Chain A
Amino acid sequence: MTEMERNLRNKKIAEKVYFSMCGLFMILTIAVLFWILYDVASKGYSTINWTFLTDRPREQMTAGGIWPAIVGTFYVASLTIIISVPVGITSAIYLNEYASKGTLVRVIRLSIRNLSGVPSIVYGLFGLGLFAATLGLGTSLISAALTLSIMSLPWVITASEEALKAVPQSFREGGLALGATKWQMIRQLVLPNAISGMATGSILALARATGETAPIILTGAAFFLPALPTSLSDRFMAMPYHLYILATQHMSPAQVRPIAYATALVLIAMVMGLNMVAIIWRYQIRKKQTW
């Protein structure tokens, strides 16, 4: 074997070793995810049954179910999406369709990226100070939903912009060249082709909002409520907060551990389910798209 061949062989071996090490870390990442999923699923599934999903917590949360928390999470997440999606979409339409490149747009984009980096607990504090205390909405469903809406705004804007960017420029040119006004062009050629992308982005935002805990602790989630919220100014139970309470605030944590696991499993199922829906839908759209 010549010097060169040996050299080459050594290099190939080194490549294998290094890349295998990198791959090992990738495997570790995936392993952690699946291990968590497995742990939660294996310890949580036996507690889940119809009663668990439809009954309220009983006997200091050591029995019964999590129905009020499911409903509360559903309410607050839906309200969040109802508020943030229209605002986020209009904002994205401005950025992608109306704005011309310049300082203003740069500042707007910078603000969006900064908003997405603000810690969720700071949003909670802000929501507490503005909606609950200053505007007098109190700790309530609406305060929490407004807080989560502001928090999810940058996600919705970014996703909507992506959907708008995916619409070919040639549709816009074709429309304008036929004498469409800008709004006619957006309304009839851009939005119909971006709307499903916006929807999947919004579902992803919904999934993230569903799992958020810190902001709602400060703005409206309740430790325990026997009844479901009936108005926007009621407080509510929420899945993530319920899990937090079962895990840390309960007087006999060991006794409620199975319930905590089951709650975690339902929460994960909700978040991942929404995520899956979005991913599959996105895939379907891409497959169907002819342009």
Chain B
Amino acid sequence: MSDNGVIFSTEALNLWYGKNQALKNINVNIKMQKVTAIIGPSGCGKSTFLKVLNRMVDLVPNVKYTGSVNLQGHNIFDENINLVNLRTRVGMVFQKPNPFPKSIFENVAFGPRIHGKHKKSELNELVEKSLRQAALWDEVKDRLNEPGLSLSGGQQQRLCIARTLANEPEVILMDEPTSALDPAATSRIEDLVRSLRKHYNIIIVTHNMQQAGRVSDETFFFLNGELIETDRTEVIFTNPKDNRTEEYITGRFG
């Protein structure tokens, strides 16, 4: 499966929060080495779908799911899936920047450390590399020992991205990563996403259609827990097949 350029494929994915069905029969392939944007009105299940991919959705009480999600030949719902390794491979960036109350260095080194990297030189190198990749290095290289929480909102979010990169993941999930940021910080994150697409599979949930248009190659449109349409981004935005997609794109609801 890893050969046909697909990173994730879901089959008959259904998910309930208690009695509330949040995802309805999702069958989709997510392509490798692409930025995939997930759009839709709030409450449509787009964040839920994202959280399924690294099983963070397990943290929600009363959650139930059926079907399968294949990550390169493994159904991640299988009982013998090692969640620690899954989440190391499939990193996540949250809606609100959530740096740990530690220094900038320790924030980035957190992932490598818990996975057993303790050599100082190795960590130094990895932290610098990750911060450079997250386009934060120049801003923080002289104050790596200051608390991560002392950074501005946009810097905090790039720190969180660097933290995820330090784990050298295959996939980065981004859950509306710019919704808490101002326009300038948002555009820096978007630049970053574009620069990271070469080396990582990125799946980004956004409520901002322009953002989806700017950063993504593929776009999925969710509505009321259903996956309505998937296509290349320019096709979705210029020539959607489903008229519900068109209505959303043209701003008639949501």
Contacts and interface: CB of A to CB of B under 8 A. Distances in A.
B184 interface: no
21 contacts: A170-B94, A171-B98, A171-B100, A172-B59, A174-B98, A174-B160, A175-B100, A176-B59, A177-B164, A178-B110, A179-B84, A179-B87, A179-B88, A179-B114, A179-B115, A179-B167, A184-B114, A193-B101, A290-B101, A291-B101, A291-B149
A177 B54 contact: yes
Contacts of B111: 178-179
Nearest to A289: B101
Contact of A178 (B59, B88, B101, B150): B88
Contacts of B147: 290
B145 interface: no
Given A171-B101, A178-B164, 20 more contacts: A100-B61, A101-B61, A170-B94, A170-B98, A172-B59, A173-B59, A173-B94, A173-B98, A174-B100, A176-B87, A177-B92, A177-B94, A178-B91, A178-B163, A178-B167, A179-B84, A179-B167, A188-B110, A189-B100, A290-B150
Interface in B57-115: 59, 61, 84-88, 91-92, 94, 96, 98-101, 110-111, 114-115
A173 B56 contact: yes
Interface of A: 100-101, 168, 170-181, 184, 188-189, 192-193, 290-291
A193 B147 CA distance: 14
A177 B114 contact: no
A8 B43 CA distance: 48
Interface in B188-225: none
A170 B110 CA distance: 15
B155 to A, nearest CB: 14
Contacts of A181: 84, 114
B6 to A, nearest CB: 23
B227 to A, nearest CB: 23
A178 B100 CA distance: 12
A180 B114 contact: yes
Interface in B131-148: 147
Nearest to B61: A101
Closest 3 interchain pairs by CB? A179-B88, A170-B98, A177-B92
Nearest to A179: B88
In this complex, the member of B54, B99, B110, B163 whose beta carbon has the largest number of chain A beta carbons within 10 angstroms is B110
Nearest to A168: B98
A237 to B, nearest CB: 45
Contacts of A290: 101, 147, 149-150
